[in-house]
């Protein structure tokens, strides 16, 4: 922990909300967000692959049962929401939910634990919750947005996609207005998708930091908030997943 900032409440808060960065200006990379999200993604991939290899058709273990229930639940959500035909949507939904849930779960680690351990190695700033970084959540939402556009063009064709852009909802005579509305709608999707996840997780992390400032008095507050926060981190992963499915469904539907 930086020596001067740790002495005041404001310095303590700034310390815990400062990313480990490299580079300058636009090309500043948040190494903590990239490292933690990458390791958790690798953990999810390796864990699910290992579980799939060891899956049994007989009496499943507890972890296999949980994963099967999770996959069945998400698959049902996709069937109820996505009205097109694509083998990509269900695997993507599962990947998004598991990955975002793992990143959100990092918020349950005590706020002083990771900075204290890394501080012994000379790393003074490190945010261990990637989803409290708007750069990461916005990057994820832009990826979803790009897939949405690609899927829309693939399903409708270039001509059908452009026809929808310029004729919906007011017809071809109002093409400039239709285009303006479409641009606003499309810009709002990734922004709202990213800010919803970031805002909720950032607020939750801030509450943990404020509770930690209470010293020993934090004990009766930290556990109840952590238990309540389990609902938040799960709900936010579910919301991000569901909005992704909805956007892909909208991209696959024809309005012509």
| Tens digits of residue pLDDT in 151-180 | 999 999 999 999 999 999 899 999 999 999
pLDDT value, residue 234:
96
The verdict on whether 33 is a catalytic residue reads no
What is the pTM assigned to this prediction? Answer: 0.91
- Note whether 132 and 201 are within 8 A (CB): yes
- Identify the active-site residue in 19, 141, 200, 252: 200
pLDDT of res. 253: 83
**What percent of the chain is modeled with pLDDT above 90?**
71
Mean pLDDT of 240-256: 87
pLDDT average, residue stretch 207-234: 89
Tell me how far apart the alpha carbons of residues 32 and 19 are, in angstroms, rounded to a whole number.
7
Q: In this predicted model, what pLDDT tens digit does every residue of 6-48 receive, in sequence order?
A: 458 888 898 889 999 998 888 899 999 999 999 999 999 999 9
Number of domains forming the structure of the chain? 1
pLDDT above 50 (res 133) = yes
- Domain encompassing residue 118: 5-252
Per-residue pLDDT, averaged over 86-109, amounts to: 94
> Catalytic: 200?
yes
The Cα 38–Cα 53 span in angstroms is 22
pLDDT at 221: 87
92 and 244 in contact (C-beta within 8 Å)? Answer: yes
Residue 4 in this model has a pLDDT that exceeds 60: no
* pLDDT-derived band at 124, boundaries 50, 70, 90: confident
State the Cα angle at 99 between 250 and 25, rounded to 5°: 90
From 192, 249, 252, 254, active-site residue:
192
**Residues 2/11, Cβ–Cβ less than 8 Å:** yes
Residue 21 bridge partners (DSSP): 30
* Closest CA relative to residue 138, chosen from 197, 92, 63: 197
């Amino acid at each position: 922990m930086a020596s001067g900032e740790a002495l005041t409440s404001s310095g303590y808060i700034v310390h815990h909300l400062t990313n480990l960065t490299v580079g300058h200006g636009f090309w500043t990379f948040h190494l903590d967000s990239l490292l933690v999200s990458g390791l958790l993604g690798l953990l999810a991939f390796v864990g699910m692959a290992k579980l799939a290899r060891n899956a049994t058709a007989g009496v499943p273990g507890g972890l296999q049962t949980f994963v099967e229930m999770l996959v069945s639940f998400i698959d049902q959500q996709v069937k109820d929401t996505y009205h097109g035909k694509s083998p990509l949507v269900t695997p993507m939904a599962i990947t998004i939910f598991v990955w975002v849930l793992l990143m959100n779960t990092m918020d349950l680690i005590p706020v002083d634990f990771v900075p204290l351990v890394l501080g012994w190695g000379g790393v003074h700033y490190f945010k261990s919750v990637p989803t409290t970084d708007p750069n990461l959540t916005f990057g994820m939402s832009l990826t979803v947005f790009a897939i949405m556009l690609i899927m829309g063009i693939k399903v409708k064709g270039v001509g059908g996609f452009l026809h929808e852009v310029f004729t919906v909802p007011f017809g071809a005579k109002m093409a400039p207005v239709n285009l303006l509305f479409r641009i606003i709608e499309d810009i709002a999707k990734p922004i709202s998708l990213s800010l919803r996840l970031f805002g909720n997780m950032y607020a939750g992390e801030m509450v943990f930091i404020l509770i930690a400032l209470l010293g020993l008095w934090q004990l009766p507050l930290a556990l109840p908030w952590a238990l309540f926060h389990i609902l938040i981190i799960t709900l936010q992963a579910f919301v991000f997943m569901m909005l992704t499915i909805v956007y892909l469904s909208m991209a696959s539907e024809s309005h012509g």
